[in-house]
Amino acid sequence: MRRVAAAALAAVFAAGCAVNPPYVAPPTAAPPAFRENANWKTAAPADQTPRGAWWDRYGDPTLDALEAQIAVSNQTLKAAQAQFDQARAAVVYSRAGRSPQVTTSPSIARANASNNRATPSVQGSYGDFLLPASVSYEADVWGRVRGLIENSLAAAQATAADVELVSLSLHAELAVDYFALRGLDAERQILGQAVANYEKALELTQSRFHGGVTSAADVAQAETQLETTRAQVVDVGVARAQFEHAIAVLVGKPAASFTLAPAPLALDPPAIPAGLPSALLERRPDIAGAERRVAAANAQIGVARAAYYPLLALTGAGGFESASLGTWLAGASNFWSIGPAALMTVFDGGRRRAINEQARAVYTQTTAAYQETVLVAFREVEDNLAALRLLDEEAAIQARAVAAAERSLALATNRYKGGVTSYLEVTAAQSAALADERTAVDLRTRRMVASVLLVKALGGGWDRSQLPTTAALKAPVK
């Protein structure tokens, strides 16, 4: 009989193991290499995929100091961390299902029973001293509790990946805003120099006008050029103030008390190798989070399936009850009961079937979201590799255009001083030179931004080995 019972028990547990479907990560189609990175050759050991504080690569101490403040003061990151703390607490809550639940509800009462009850058992008033305790334990035969734990563990890991994604996004946003601000500083420097040059040109034109060499129209053109450029300086200041305020929020400071001294952008983007597409799957926190949500959905399917099986529990109750305080804890006052119980839904109008279909649909949805996240990740890397390559080519061409515009301006100015041409030619040359210089600054800014976005697309040096382990998540929340 013991062998039969053991075999039956083993069969029950085997059936229970079959309820939770085994998890296999959804397949992804990773290309062998990034097309835009096909000709990359590692130049030095430092030219590796970014790790840790990736912003150090730019060699800007001010940027480094600002980035360090995000982990300490940014409120968005604190909110994301709080969400992870909630998910970790949910793991502890789900694991409590494996432990017995013990409850007690002691009471002391004085009561008077009605003499007109249909079946009076007690006459007059009486006391009731009660000290009960009850124990219940769910036998996780079908894996329902195990599925809930697996679901909460995977969800907590997904939330931890979300924290890393928020952190990466905030650090990248700060770097983008910072380089945009420094680009505006460089642009304002160019405009300031242009204003100084135009003031000298206006003085020259006015002198020539007073000498009868040139007309009042030339003076008016010089004044127009000067005031238009002054207005552009003010307009650049507006955009700079907005970026400064955005940086203040990122580092957790009021905009009114935060300022950055002007420092024109003079950096070129560092080399950012992309590595292999297959490695990208391990480096992106959004990919890791999406995959963990697929695992959570898979575990939820097992929980939904377990609803078709009876809920088996072992319950017990005991304690002391007496009509007087003196005999409350006496041996004769004890009571107890113990025994197994089963609860099974016989008819529910299709609710369990609907829950199972819903769980499978959620799994399909999260799988599609995961595979879409992978495709978007590959696209973002290719986008920014292409942007860096093409912007580098454009910057080289623009540098030649700036040099040509400066030569053209020098020739036009000399021709005007020699009385060969009107001031209109000088004005056109000035506008062309200023526009080319501003375009060159804009290209440098865009190259810096593209490099930051490439680092972000590569995961910013993070990898999924940094996700909290199951053991860490099972530890009590402090």
Task: Say if residue 176 is in the same domain as residue 105.
Answer: no
Task: Say if residue 298 is in the same domain as residue 431.
Answer: yes
> What local confidence, expressed as pLDDT, does residue 177 receive?
98
Q: Is the pLDDT of residue 478 over 80?
A: no
Q: Considering the domain boundaries, does residue 361 fall inside one?
A: yes
Indicate the helix (H) or strand (E) that contains 304: helix 285-306
Task: Say if residue 71 is in the same domain as residue 124.
Answer: no
* DSSP letter for each residue of 323-366: SSSTTTTSGGGEEEEEEEEEE--S--TTHHHHHHHHHHHHHHHH
Confidence label for 51 from pLDDT (cuts 50, 70 and 90): low
Task: Return the number of other C-beta atoms located less than 10 Å from residue 229's C-beta.
Answer: 22
Average pLDDT, whole number, for the chain? 90
Q: Is the pLDDT of residue 228 over 50?
A: yes
CATH number at residue 318: 2.20.200.10
Task: Say if residue 429 is in the same domain as residue 304.
Answer: yes
Q: Is the pLDDT of residue 418 over 90?
A: no
pLDDT digits (tens, 9 = 90+) for 336-352: 999 999 988 889 899 99
Confidence label for 208 from pLDDT (cuts 50, 70 and 90): confident
Q: Range of 65's domain?
A: 16-99+141-309+350-474
> Domains in the chain: how many in total?
2
Q: Considering the domain boundaries, does residue 369 fall inside one?
A: yes
CA 405 centroid distance within chain? 45
Note if the pTM is more than 0.75.
yes
Confidence label for 30 from pLDDT (cuts 50, 70 and 90): confident
Task: Say if residue 80 is in the same domain as residue 187.
Answer: yes
List alpha helices for 29-122, DSSP H: 61-73, 75-95
